[in-house]
Structure 1
Amino acid sequence: MAASNYTLCDTYASVTVAASTLTGASTLILDCEARDLGCTNGVLSIISISDVDATTIFLIDALALPDSSHPAFTPLFDLLRSEAVTKLMWDGRADALELREVYGVELGGVLDLQLAEVVSRRNVRGEKDDFRRRRLATGYFREMALDISRNPGEYDGIYQVSGMNAALKARNIRDNKDATVLDLQKAQGSGIWLERPLPETLLRYAAHDLSLIAMLYASFMRGGWIKENNVALLKEQSARYMRTFRTREIKDLFDDSKVAMFVPLHVLEAPPGNAQLIECLWCKQQLPLRCFTVRRDAGRVQQRSTLCKLCAALAKRDSEGSRGEWVAV
């Protein structure tokens, strides 16, 4: 998995070669680099794509190839859209938004490893609801441990996601990312991805991310977190996860309100086909009634919060802004 071996595609002809090389693969790895990926200020820089082992890596220079209608992109976009070709990603929500906004490409066949890690907690590792609440009480909601204990129903279905570094550490995978790039991003921000020509250190960094995803995938497979009988469900859940950021404005909103640190409440369990969907006042997700706290007022009229349980918990934690209102069901 030597991520130093990559091909930079900065001509349309080289994109054709990349797509031709990867066509026929049943599983690919996909990642993007950008300034402020998915945000209103976002500018896509690099589309990184490889085979399942990250031994054949292509870095497609989006800035050098601005003509999204060029026929050289057609076979590549077909691969990205294909439900039959699995795309391994780590938190691909913003990547999916960039590809949709820039190229009009709706990703298909995504298996998001960040989501797979969350699903494995309950379905493979056997973590019960009390352990899930303990994660919340020792994580982002650590100041609210008492409230979680007293009002467990208000935290139903809330899962905090793990970052890639935490997942690598948990699976005993050494992350040898270039520290100089990490320092550069801290000092100058993600705008460094708009430099041209891109320094080789950044290109190697982008390629290395694919090798990390490859190692995590292999580890998840060995651990039984991903197996033949759960791939279809993981891909269904990942498809809902990929549609979380419908617009750049929603991505900004998720970042500002910290909702991005959690799995949206409709992702792990699909809403019933005939369910009435309600838009949460904060996160703007279309959710079934089960995702909202419901109560009866003094007149015994059933009411629901205008905030989903996740957003209501975040509002309670921060004690800032609107905590939503109660409306009749």
Structure 2
Amino acid sequence: MAAPNYTLCDTYESVVVAASTLSRSSILILDCEARDLARPTGVLSIVSISDVDATTIFLIDALALRDSSNPALVPLFDLLSSGTVTKLMWDGRADALELRETFGVELRGVLDLQLAEVVSRKSVRRETEESRLRRLATGYFKQMRHDILRDPAAYEGIDQVSGMKNSLKACGIHDSKDAAVVALHEAKGSAMWLQRPLPKALLQYAAHDLKLIAALYTSFVRAGWINGRDLPLLKEQSERYIRTLHTRALKDLFDQRNLGMFVSLHVIDTPPPDAQLYECESCHQQNTKTIAGAC
């Protein structure tokens, strides 16, 4: 995949131009880069946003544009909060929280491709219950695989997500990490995103992520995993998915316990309005039932 072209926006005037250009598209791609994204020590660095093909990419420097009350940011915030402009994301849970905490923006209109992959297993690909349980038994719950075989009902409704790397491989999309970025990450961790000026390799990395999301979206549509029939429901589910994390402390908890590997129970099937809800003591998500081993 060729190195992408991008425009770095580090002035308020440049963000106005970016928002004007992006407003011509009904589908955008969105991703964020940060130090400790959405965690208590989190600092937003780059908001990456493009058209649906990732041919027009803007990298918005959040460190240079700290004044969220500046009127120049209003058109961009309007795009992000618009329910009629679709935002394609890959696991937008932490991104949504970081944008809310940093800029006070509530993301709407999201179509989360990580969630779409999970939903398509049953709705399109007709995955069997045996396959779902096998994924759990060879993944997060591999130390409890005998319990899963003995009492599968205790794991009803638990869906383990797929990472982007695995999904790219499953879709036959070749990608390799930039060696320079890998070296930077090993040396500085996610704090590398606070460097200014940002190295060109990091800017290209941020832009490249949008290219990958664009490729996955094209593949999902071609395979029927995303289709017009299921799209309205999938966007409703995506809205619930990106609101899984309510606070930075909760993101920290999810990371400590590796709970981001799962779709919270209320996301795919929303509880009825009159349902009695129970809060999980481990992940603090509210659901209609408790599930042994879910957390």
TM-score (norm 2): 0.97
Larger radius of gyration: 1
Other-structure match for 2:35: 35
Other-structure match for 1:297: none
Q: Aligned partners of 2:176, 2:283: CA distance in 1, in Å?
A: 35
Other-structure match for 1:182: 182
Q: Aligned partners of 1:268, 1:213: CA distance in 2, in Å?
A: 22
SS of equivalent to 2:59: strand
Residues 3, 55 of structure 1: 8 Å contact kept:
no
Cα shift at 1:2? 5.1
SS of equivalent to 1:189: helix
The answer to which of 155-164 and 275-284 deviates more is 275-284
Other-structure match for 2:246: 246
Other-structure match for 2:293: 313
Q: Aligned partners of 2:236, 2:225: CA distance in 1, in Å?
A: 16
5 Å-filtered alignment, 1:126-275, equals: 126-275=126-275
Other-structure match for 2:50: 50
- Give the aligned length: 295
Cα shift at 1:184? 1.7
What do you get for the CA RMSD once the two structures are aligned? Answer: 1.2
Residues 3, 210 of structure 1: 8 Å contact kept:
no
Other-structure match for 2:98: 98
Q: Aligned partners of 1:186, 1:167: CA distance in 2, in Å?
A: 24
Residues 155, 294 of structure 2: 8 Å contact kept:
no
5 Å-filtered alignment, 1:46-85, equals: 46-85=46-85
TM-score (norm 1): 0.88
Residues 3, 211 of structure 1: 8 Å contact kept:
no
Sequence identity (%)? 66
Which amino acid is 1:220 matched to? F
Cα shift at 1:314? 5.3
Cα shift at 1:182? 1.9
Q: Aligned partners of 1:19, 1:197: CA distance in 2, in Å?
A: 23
Q: Aligned partners of 2:2, 2:56: CA distance in 1, in Å?
A: 9
Q: Aligned partners of 1:168, 1:238: CA distance in 2, in Å?
A: 20
Q: Aligned partners of 1:187, 1:142: CA distance in 2, in Å?
A: 32
Q: Does 2:24 align with 1:24?
A: yes
Q: Aligned partners of 1:37, 1:7: CA distance in 2, in Å?
A: 22
Q: Aligned partners of 1:184, 1:166: CA distance in 2, in Å?
A: 23
Q: Aligned partners of 1:286, 1:122: CA distance in 2, in Å?
A: 23
Cα shift at 1:257? 1.1
Which amino acid is 1:183 matched to? A
- What are structure 2's unaligned runs of at least 5 residues? none
Residues 48, 207 of structure 1: 8 Å contact kept:
yes
CA offsets 1:179-200 (integer angstroms, 9 cap, x no match): 2202321232000000000011
Q: Comparing both chains, which one has the higher relative contact order based on Cα–Cα distances under 8 Å and sequence gaps of 6 or more?
A: 2
- What are structure 1's unaligned runs of at least 5 residues? 293-308, 316-329
SS of equivalent to 1:31: strand
Superposition misfits of 4+ residues, deviation over 3 angstroms = none
CA offsets 1:71-108 (integer angstroms, 9 cap, x no match): 11101000000010100000010000000001111100
Which amino acid is 2:293 matched to? A
